[in-house]
Amino acid sequence: MNPRNLAALLSSLIAQLLLLITVVFPSSNPLCITNSSLSHFLTPLLLHFLSVSETAATLSRKRKRIHFSEFDAPEGEGLTRFKLGRPDSFIRRNPDCFKKFFNINSSTFDWLCGLLEPLLECRDPVDSPLNLAAETRLGIGLFRLATGANFSDVSRRFTVSESVAKFCFKQLCRVLCTNFRFWVGFLNSGELESVSNRFESISGIPNCCGVLCCVRFKVNEESIAAQLVVDSSSRIISIIAGFRGDKTDFQVLNSSTLFEDIEKGTIFTNSQGLEINGVSVPQFLVGNGDYPLLNWLMLPFDDPISQSNEEKFNNAINVMRLPSVIAVQSLRNWGVLREPIEGEIKTVVASIGACSILHNMSLSRDDYSAFCDDLNEYSPDKRKSCSNPGETKTVACSIRSALVTKVTKATEFQ
């Protein structure tokens, strides 16, 4: 078997394995992977298959070199036409062009092309296969995601029909969300411990495993909600999209598999917790005032007295929430999510998932092309927290009070 066919076969095996996971461990949302023990067992296996597939794909590539040209783009317009992978192709590979049109740098583009080539080239329509190189297919999909350009513009720039442009865009989203969704899977216990250590180093608050937030994207005349959990490096470790935008953040959380998994103890397996002043502090997330205070969800205090210990705790919470703000703004930096999205809900959900996966992939390569240069929209949270049952709130308040003590001591030490 030649290397190209081997790469396609291995990539197909990954897809079948993920499909089996979906059947055995069903989820209400195709973008939700939150089973910690499952992740702990499967992540090395998946990465092994992925590594072998990528290596085979790289060895099998016979891509035509893409030449650089300073005169390809008319002055003042930037690149107006892309012909990636064709003998007569010319493209300026400078950082500004790739950041502007693809939201990644040229190195990440090549890496992605090698990673996705077997899958992008083996799923053409049966009766009308496309005679397009993997670079062109990837370029079309990324251009649509990065710029939000309509398909007539994508068609003109890549000299393909609109139907082909739509196919390549949907194909890229489908491949990413089906074969590479483990890039946004919840972390195993060892990884969560590492995340909590990093959060403690920047805030003084121990045992925090992520930041919970809910973001909404406009779809035609309505909106769609996506729930994210973000770690201390702005990596998205959980994404569940497809909820109606008129639901509150807590309604979204309450109807998500994340809520169910945490309540059942499927995700946070550190049942013993960390003892602070006689209080057992479990692994937890931090959120804003749109959520209720829960045993595993810590919120800032409402209207703390100036320079009080509660205000110090709020400041620490705001520092911890900053990575989630960076992640959300990075997602909005993908043009397809910045403006009202047209299309079916499943296509919109696929776009959100694809951008989230690309966000994590770029982050793993230290490629910050899609990241915002500033955080103008960020401000400390001042919203009132939601109410919740008294018994649960009593325990949650005890946990938060213990954490206040911890932060106070850390602040005094500094």
pLDDT surpassing 60 at residue 45:
no
Do residues 231 and 375 both lie within one domain?
A: yes
Do residues 244 and 176 both lie within one domain?
A: no
Contact 323, 211 (CB under 8 A): yes
Residue at which a domain ends, from 180, 211, 227: 180
Residue at which a domain ends, from 147, 180, 213: 180
pLDDT surpassing 90 at residue 36:
no
pTM of the model: 0.78
With a CB cutoff of 8 Å and minimum separation 6, the contacts of 52 are: 10
**Residue 90: what pLDDT?**
36
For residue 49, being part of any structural domain is answered with: no
For residue 87, being part of any structural domain is answered with: no
Average pLDDT of span 170-195: 92
Do residues 209 and 173 both lie within one domain?
A: no
For residue 363, being part of any structural domain is answered with: no
**Residue 271: what pLDDT?**
54
Do residues 116 and 239 both lie within one domain?
A: no
Confidence band for 298, pLDDT divided at 50, 70 and 90: very high
Helix (H, G, I), strand (E, B) or coil at 317: helix
pLDDT surpassing 80 at residue 129:
no
For residue 27, being part of any structural domain is answered with: no
**Residue 39: what pLDDT?**
40
Query: Could you tell me which residue, 320 or 83, shows the higher pLDDT?
Result: 320
Other Cβ atoms closer than 10 A to 379:
9
Average pLDDT of span 23-48: 40
How many angstroms separate the Cα of 254 from the Cα of each of 126, 247, 259, 385?
Answer: 42, 11, 6, 15
pLDDT surpassing 60 at residue 154:
yes
Residue at which a domain ends, from 125, 148, 180: 180
Domains of the chain: total: 2
Confidence band for 10, pLDDT divided at 50, 70 and 90: low
Contact 237, 39 (CB under 8 A): no
Residue 135's domain comprises 95-180
Instruction: Tell me which of 84-93, 100-109, 341-350 is least confident.
Output: 84-93
Instruction: Tell me which of 3-17, 127-141, 217-231 is least confident.
Output: 3-17
Helix (H, G, I), strand (E, B) or coil at 14: helix
For 16, left (φ over 0), alpha (ψ -120 to 50), or beta? alpha
pLDDT surpassing 50 at residue 277:
yes
CA proximity to 19, closest of 177, 238, 222? 177
Contact 236, 360 (CB under 8 A): yes
CA–CA separation, 204 and 209 (whole Å): 13
User: Mean pLDDT, the chain, as a whole number?
Assistant: 78
pLDDT surpassing 80 at residue 125:
no
C-alpha dihedral (176, 182, 185, 190), degrees to nearest 10: -150
Name beta bridge partners: 214. 227
Contact 172, 138 (CB under 8 A): yes
**Residue 389: what pLDDT?**
53
Confidence band for 93, pLDDT divided at 50, 70 and 90: low
**Residue 86: what pLDDT?**
39
pLDDT surpassing 90 at residue 50:
no
Instruction: Tell me which of 63-67, 145-149, 154-158, 349-353 is least confident.
Output: 63-67
